[in-house]
């Protein structure tokens, strides 16, 4: 082989190897920002990032209507009064997105 062909092949192999190394593996599992399954220990205390509007919307999505008195307590749990199945109920939303009825 001549010198130019050898250099060309070497450069091609170097570029291919560099490209292969720059690919990042795709994660095999994604972690949602908000848990979609109910935590049996809910409501869970913790730093809550839901805004008041988001908290109200999440509670309504869980089937509650007429959400009133929504307040974030010292444990990081949104608490309110709402109606479900025509009855008044205490309801809460924790930082994990769990909506629970007061017992």
pLDDT tens-digit map of 14-52: 555 544 455 555 555 554 555 567 677 768 888 988 999
pLDDT tens-digit map of 55-71: 999 999 999 999 999 99
Total Cβ atoms within 10 A of residue 81: 15
Q: How far apart are the first and last CA of the chain?
A: 84
pLDDT tens-digit map of 76-100: 999 999 999 999 999 999 999 999 9
Q: Is there a cis peptide before residue 79, judged by omega within 30 degrees of 0? A: no
Domains of the chain: which residue ranges? Answer: 52-101
């Amino acid at each position: 082989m001549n010198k130019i062909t050898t250099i060309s092949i070497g450069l091609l192999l170097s570029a291919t190897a560099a490209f292969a190394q720059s690919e990042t593996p795709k994660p095999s599992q994604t972690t949602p920002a908000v848990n979609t399954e109910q935590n049996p220990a809910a409501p869970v205390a913790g730093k809550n990032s839901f805004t008041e509007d988001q908290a109200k919307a999440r509670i309504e999505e869980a089937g509650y209507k007429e959400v009133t008195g929504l307040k974030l307590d010292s444990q990081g749990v949104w608490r309110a009064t709402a109606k479900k199945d025509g009855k008044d109920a205490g309801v809460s939303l924790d930082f994990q997105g769990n909506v629970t009825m007061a017992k």
